[in-house]
A = this chain, B = another copy of it.
Amino acid sequence: MRYLWSFASLLLVMSSLTVRSYAKENKMELNLMPWPAHIELTGGTFRLNQSFTVEVTGNPADRLYGAASRMLRKLSDRTGLFFSQDYLYRDSLVKNPFMIIHADRPGKLKLYEDESYRLEITPTHILLTANTDIGALRGMETFLQLLEADSSGYYLPAVNIMDHPRFPWRGLMIDASRHFMPVNVIERNIRGMAAVKLNVLHWHLSDDQGFRAECKTFPKLTGMGSDGLFYTQAQIKEVIKYAAERGIRVVPEFDLPAHSTSWFVGYPKYASAPGPYSIERRFGIFNPVFNPTINKTYVFLGKFFKEMCALFPDHYIHIGGDENNGVQWNANPEIQAFMKAHKIPDDRSLQLYFENRLVPILTKYHKKAMGWEEILNPRLPKTAIIQSWRGKESEVNAVLQGYRVIQSKGYYLDHYFPASVYYLNDPVPDSSGLTAQQKKQIIGGEACMWSEYVTPENVDSRIWPRAAAVAERLWSPRDIRNVSDMYRRLDAVSLELDGLSLTQLKNQGMMIRRLAGGYDVKPLTNFINVVEPIEVYSRARTGKYTSYSPLTRVVDASVPDPEVARNFSYMVDGLVAGNQPDEDAFAIMERELSMWKKNDASLEPLISKSPILKEIQPLSVELSAIASIGLKALSDIRQNAKAESGWVNASLSEIEKAAAPAGEVKLMVVAPIEKLVKYAGGR
């Protein structure tokens, strides 16, 4: 008998492969992300109307009143309901509130703080309770994601949710050095973090390409090392406050001893070679490195960190430590003599000597150190946190030496991996041999946004929505791993973030209009919907990029894991897996292929007016060519006809041509069309 399926049911079928026993269909339809630890639908709905009111009780920090006011406004914005309640304050009086938000005590912005909450929604009332107001903040985000609508209005499903994070450190690292990211970029990403319950902003503030934090003791750090693009201390305080109001910690990183060219533009005497230095404009690993053998380096860093430790309230300071190539050390006879005198055998040991003189400076100012995995050595205090980025070995190694670890390997967002790859990457290795106790030393992870190839215009589109998949991995139970359901919810989260003025959706439209030089963007949008940037190291290998190169081309407007191509791929996968699609599914695939087939004819006139588009012209031609092939294959499949081998072979060689990138983008429908052809030829 013929098995009918539509695109939606295909997704459900695929979901069911890994569906958990708790999953009821209606629960699976909720748009929660990260998925809560425990959720139960209790039946019925709480209907929203304009008389809705909220009261905050208990003993929270002041921030909870502001957060509740913002929650009320977001609910009003999404529903268009004119709530009578305005702003909540500690002394606000609310009669018979429909929703009570209760927190026993103010939460502290520190590692291991309690972020659990409990959310009970019945048809008549809503109760959100938490031990700390930070837990209540997390619960409010869940509450907002529960909003649903039907033809009679807006409502929340009746639920019981008991939720808490799996890991206490759930970070997003933003590199503000290689491309400066103004305050509003940081703030909107903090809003995004809050929405998906990330709790640490790791702010990469210095690197070869720019020093971005104002230091009053050493004004030439930004005065000469930033092109005027830096955060004032007032702005830094503003960002810290903005994050704190959302229950998010801010951990600054000052990357040492390498990745430090920008320090030396103003202060060359602390480098291991005489200079002069200028701000590095290229990307990669460079030679400038602090001179760890002279005492004045530590005097300088002592004064520097004294000021920074007072500026940043978090208990942790990130001191970098990565990618020191040792070239300047090896070339400096005084450093070599020092190593000999102190029996320091190699560069790695010299770096550890440096780390072990640096960390006590932080201790003096009541801060704990964290750094990239290269800082690991037995003399580090056990309070130090190791950030693993090159492989799981370093993670296990650090754990075995008694350190706590956060995982970033596999969470680099500047690599254009699909969300599923980040999502399925668990911080705790499957076969690590670690004990349960040791596994607790793995305290979380961080999604990392390195900024070689992003600007304020497109950085959100590299972070979001994929960082939400990392957020779920770090918050939700380990066995929540259903990829297709994750994608369904990811699309909903992206829409939520869009409404919070993140720019991952809306700036693409802007970039496309600029590329097209006009409002007629349809053919270019169609094209961009099915391409993705080439792998980031391939971009690096072009050798043409500097920190002032234009990042406004098609490759920069295209996004990783593009939804249109992904959905087409899913449908093809279902088809070649032997599921016979219904007419709707065939129609969707045919419509997409026909559109791509015709697209080049519409795109060519745009390309001839917009020289910036010329580089993608060959790929636009290829898209049309392989779409024609796909149409023929689909038609054969539909008619149960076997495609003849001559055509199959010719088609496959055309498809191979289409796999070659142009303008640093590649076609993401090559693989599914290849599958269609092989399937049509192989039956």
Binding site for B on A (CB under 8 A): 66, 69, 73, 76-83, 86-87, 149-154, 182-184, 227-228, 232, 234-235, 238, 281, 456-457, 491, 495, 498-499, 501, 503, 505-507, 509-510, 513-514, 517-519, 544, 546, 548-553, 608-612
Which residues from B are CB-within-8-Å of A498?
510, 513-514
| A672, B557: Cα distance in complex, Å | 38
B227, A87: Cβ atoms under 8 Å? yes
| A513, B182: Cα distance in complex, Å | 26
16 A/B residue pairs, CB under 8 Å, sorted by A: A73-B550, A76-B549, A78-B612, A80-B550, A80-B553, A86-B548, A87-B227, A151-B608, A151-B611, A154-B611, A183-B184, A234-B238, A491-B519, A495-B514, A495-B517, A501-B510
| A505, B518: Cα distance in complex, Å | 12
Across the interface, A513 reaches (CB within 8 A) one of B83, B232, B505, B551, namely B505
A546, B153: Cβ atoms under 8 Å? no
| A356, B215: Cα distance in complex, Å | 46
Which residues from B are CB-within-8-Å of A69?
227
B509, A495: Cβ atoms under 8 Å? no
Query: Shortest Cβ distance from A348 into chain B, in angstroms?
Result: 34
Which residues from B are CB-within-8-Å of A506?
503, 506-507, 509-510
Query: Shortest Cβ distance from A92 into chain B, in angstroms?
Result: 12
Q: Shortest 5 CB-CB distances between A and B: which pairs?
A: A234-B234, A184-B184, A80-B612, A506-B506, A77-B552
B517, A86: Cβ atoms under 8 Å? no
Which residues from B are CB-within-8-Å of A609?
149-151
Which residues from B are CB-within-8-Å of A73?
548, 550
A82, B550: Cβ atoms under 8 Å? yes
Which chain B residue lies CB-closest to A563?
B519
Which chain B residue lies CB-closest to A455?
B77
Which residues from B are CB-within-8-Å of A553?
80
| A73, B547: Cα distance in complex, Å | 11
Which chain B residue lies CB-closest to A233?
B234
Which residues from B are CB-within-8-Å of A519?
491, 495
Which chain B residue lies CB-closest to A86?
B548
Q: Which of A79, A81, A506 has the most CB of B within 10 A?
A: A506
Instruction: Say how many copies of this protein the assembly contains.
Output: 2
B149, A610: Cβ atoms under 8 Å? yes
A81, B550: Cβ atoms under 8 Å? yes
| A611, B149: Cα distance in complex, Å | 7
Which residues from B are CB-within-8-Å of A457?
501
Which chain B residue lies CB-closest to A185?
B184
| A183, B235: Cα distance in complex, Å | 11
| A281, B84: Cα distance in complex, Å | 11
Query: Shortest Cβ distance from A7 into chain B, in angstroms?
Result: 13
| A491, B518: Cα distance in complex, Å | 9
Which residues from B are CB-within-8-Å of A514?
77-78, 495, 498-499
Query: Shortest Cβ distance from A68 into chain B, in angstroms?
Result: 13
Query: Shortest Cβ distance from A617 into chain B, in angstroms?
Result: 11
Which residues from B are CB-within-8-Å of A184?
182-184
Which chain B residue lies CB-closest to A508?
B506
| A69, B281: Cα distance in complex, Å | 15
Which residues from B are CB-within-8-Å of A232?
234, 238
| A64, B549: Cα distance in complex, Å | 21
Query: Shortest Cβ distance from A602 into chain B, in angstroms?
Result: 16
| A505, B513: Cα distance in complex, Å | 10
Which residues from B are CB-within-8-Å of A86?
281, 546, 548
Which residues from B are CB-within-8-Å of A610?
149
| A375, B342: Cα distance in complex, Å | 80
Which chain B residue lies CB-closest to A72?
B548
| A498, B521: Cα distance in complex, Å | 14
Which residues from B are CB-within-8-Å of A150?
609
Which chain B residue lies CB-closest to A66?
B228
Query: Shortest Cβ distance from A213 into chain B, in angstroms?
Result: 15
Query: Shortest Cβ distance from A133 into chain B, in angstroms?
Result: 16
Which chain B residue lies CB-closest to A456?
B501
Query: Shortest Cβ distance from A225 into chain B, in angstroms?
Result: 13
| A202, B235: Cα distance in complex, Å | 24
